[in-house]
Structure 1
Amino acid sequence: MSDLITERTPLVIAAEINMIKEQTEKVVLNNAVEVGRRLKEAKEMLQHGEWLKWLEESVSYTERTAQRFLLVFDAYGDQQPAALNAGAQTQRLPNMTYSQALILLGVPEEEREQFIAEMDIENMSVRELQKAVKDREQAFQDREQAFQDRDQALQEKADLLKALDGEKGKNTQLTKERDTLKTMAGDLQKSKQALEQDVEKKQLECDKLKEKTSYKSVQRMSDSLTVAYNKVAANKITFLYENMDKAFKELAYEMTKFASIDADVHAAYKKMVNDFLIKAMQERMGG
C-alpha cells in the first residue's frame, strides 16, 4: 500500500497546484461566459443611464470588469448552452483557461476558431500563448505590409509603364519634329545659298553699273563744270569790261573838263593814261 503513495516533493506539490489552477481557470471561464450572458440580458432591460449605477449597486462591478465579461460572452457564449448551474453545463468550450480566453480575444473572431485548432493551447502556458498571438499579429501585419508593398509596386509599375508610354509618344513626336526641322534646315540652307549667289550676281551687276554710271557722271559733271566756269569767266570779263568802260568814260569826261582849266596838267595826265593803257595791254593781255 505504501508503495503506491507517491513521495511528496516540492515538484509534485507544484504540479498539483498548477493542475488545480488550470481546473479553476476553466471553471472561471465557464462562469465568466455565464456572467457575461446575464450582464448582457440585464443591460438590455435597463433604461439609458441606469447601467453603471446598476453595476455598482447590484453586482459591485466596474464598467471595465463588466465589459470584459461581455467580451468573453460575445466571443464564446454561443459555444455553450445557457444554464443556471455552470457545473451542469454540457462542455463545448475549447479546453482552455480564462486567462487564455482573454488573450485569444486579440485574435479576430473570424480567425479565432482556426487559430485555436492549429495551436496546442491545452499544453501552452499563458506566456507562450501571448507570444503566439503576438507573433500571429506581427505575421498578419507583415503580410498586410507585404500586400501593400506589392500593390504599391504594381501601381508604381503601372504608373511607370504609363509614363514610359507617354515618353515614347513624346519621343516619337520629337523625332517627327526633329526630322521636319532637318528638312526645313536643308531647305533654308539651299535658299540661303541661292540668295547668296543671287546677291553676288547682283553685286557684280551693280559694280559694273556703278563703273559705267560713275564714268558718265564724272564726264557729264566735268563738262558741266567747264561750261559753268566759262560762263563765270565770261561774266567776270563782262563785269570788268563794263566797269573799266565806265571808269574810262568818267576819266575822259573829267580830263576833258580839266583841259579848259589847265592845258599843261591835262596834257601830262593824258600822257600818263596813254602810257598806262599801252603798258597794261602789253604786259597783261599779251601785246
Structure 2
Amino acid sequence: MNEIQTTVIDTLTVEILILKQQTAQNIIEIGKRLISVKESLAHGEWGKYLDEKVEFGKSTANNFMRVAKEFSNLQAIGSLPQTKVFALLEIPQAEREEFIANNKVEEMTTRELQQAIKDRDKAVNEKEIYASAMKKAEDAKFISDNLLRESKEAAKADIKKLKDSLKDEKKKSSAEIAKLQSFIGEAKDSGNDEEVVRLQASLNEIQGDLDSSALRIDELESQLKEKPIDVITAEPVIIEKIPEEVAKELQELREKLSQSNSPSVAKFKSNHAVLNQIFKSQLEVMVEIKETDSVTYEKCKNAISNLISKMSERL
C-alpha cells in the first residue's frame, strides 16, 4: 500500500469514526466510506482493518454497505436508529419504502419493528403458499379437463368404429343369412321340419346378436352425451371421467365386434352351415344305399369315416 492510499484510508477512517458518534442518518455515509476502503485494500486486509481501525464486525460492516447501496431515499429512514435501519434490510428492497409508509416505524421499538417484519414475512409466505396451491389446482383442473375431453373424444371415436364395424358385419353376414334362408327353403321343400326349426333358430341368433349390439351402442352413445360422473380427488379439484361401466361395456363390445368382424370367422360360420347341410344330406343318402346295396354302403361308410378321421387329424 503506497503513502497516498494510506492517507486516503486514514482520512476515511477518521470520518467513519466521527460519523459513528453522530445520528443514524449518517449510516449511509459510513457505508459509502466502507465501500471505498474495501475497494482500496488488498485481498485479506479487510477483516484486519475492521478489527483494528473501526471496530466493526464483518456482518455490521456489510449492513452499513448494504444501507448505502439500497437506501437511495434518505427521507425513508429519517432519524431512525441503526438497529431499526438494519432491521429494515430484512425486507426486499423493492417493498421496503412501501412497508415504511404503511407502518409507524418511528413510533415502534426495535423489538416491535422486528415482530412487524416477521408478521409481514409470514403473511407473504402464506400468500405465496396459497397462490402456489391455487396454481396447482388450476393446473390440475386444466389437465383433468384435457383428459376428460380426450376421454370423451376417444369414447366417441370408439362408438363410431363400433358402428362402422357393425355395418361391415351386417354386410358380411348377409351372405350367411341368405345361405341359411336358402337351406331353410330346401328343408321346407323336403318336409324336414326339424331342420327348418334348427336353421331358423341359427338365423334368428345371428340377426339377434347384430340387432342387440346396434341397440346397446346407441344407448352408450346417448349415455355419453350426458354429464360424466364427478370424482372429487382433493379440494378444490374435481376431475370428471367416463362412467366405469360404460367404458367397460364399450371394451366388451369392441372385442366382440372385433372377433365377429374377422373375415376368417365369418367364412368359418358360412362353411360350417354348409358342411352341416351336406353331412345331413349324406346321411340321408347312406340310409337309402344301405337298404339296397350293403356292399356299397360299407364302402361309402369307410369313405366318410376316413374323411372325418383326416379332418380330425388336421385340426
TM-score range, shorter chain: 0.5 to 0.7
Counterpart in 1 of 2:312?
none
- Tell me which of 290, 293, 307 is aligned to 1:214: 290
2:163 partner letter: D
Partners of 2:111 and 2:57 in 1: CA distance = 27
1:62 partner letter: G
Partners of 2:145 and 2:34 in 1: CA distance = 59
| 1:135-165 deviation line (CA, Å, top 9, x unaligned) | 2111211222222222222211221121112
Unaligned segments of structure 1, at least 5 residues: 1-24, 81-90, 222-287
Partners of 1:209 and 1:151 in 2: CA distance = 83
Counterpart in 1 of 2:42?
47
Counterpart in 2 of 1:160?
144
Percent of residue pairs bearing the same amino acid type: 25
Counterpart in 2 of 1:238?
none
Q: Quick check: 1:26–1:96 contact (8 Å CA) kept in 2? A: no
Q: How does 1:61-210 map to 2 (within 5 A)?
A: 61-76=56-71, 78-80=72-74, 93-183=77-167, 191=176, 194=180, 195=270, 198-210=274-286
Partners of 1:205 and 1:175 in 2: CA distance = 43
| 1:93-151 deviation line (CA, Å, top 9, x unaligned) | 43422222121111111111111111111222222222221121112112222222222
Q: Quick check: 1:26–1:98 contact (8 Å CA) kept in 2? A: no
Q: Quick check: 2:29–2:68 contact (8 Å CA) kept in 1? A: yes
2:113 partner letter: L
Count of aligned pairs between the two proteins? 187
- Coordinate RMSD, CA, aligned: 3.2
Q: Quick check: 1:26–1:97 contact (8 Å CA) kept in 2? A: no
Partners of 1:40 and 1:133 in 2: CA distance = 27
Partners of 1:171 and 1:121 in 2: CA distance = 64
Counterpart in 2 of 1:16?
none
Partners of 2:33 and 2:46 in 1: CA distance = 13
TM-score, length basis structure 2: 0.51
Partners of 1:150 and 1:65 in 2: CA distance = 40
2:130 partner letter: A
Partners of 1:219 and 1:121 in 2: CA distance = 127
1:79 partner letter: N
Partners of 2:160 and 2:123 in 1: CA distance = 54
2:73 partner letter: Q
Task: Specify the SS of the correspondent of 1:161.
Answer: helix
Counterpart in 1 of 2:28?
33
| 1:178-198 deviation line (CA, Å, top 9, x unaligned) | 334544665676637834764
Which deviates more from structure 2 when the two are superposed, residues 149-158 or residues 115-124? 149-158
1:47 partner letter: A
Pair 1:29–1:46, CA change in 2 (3 A): same
Pair 1:47–1:205, CA change in 2 (3 A): same
Unaligned segments of structure 2, at least 5 residues: 1-19, 181-269, 298-315
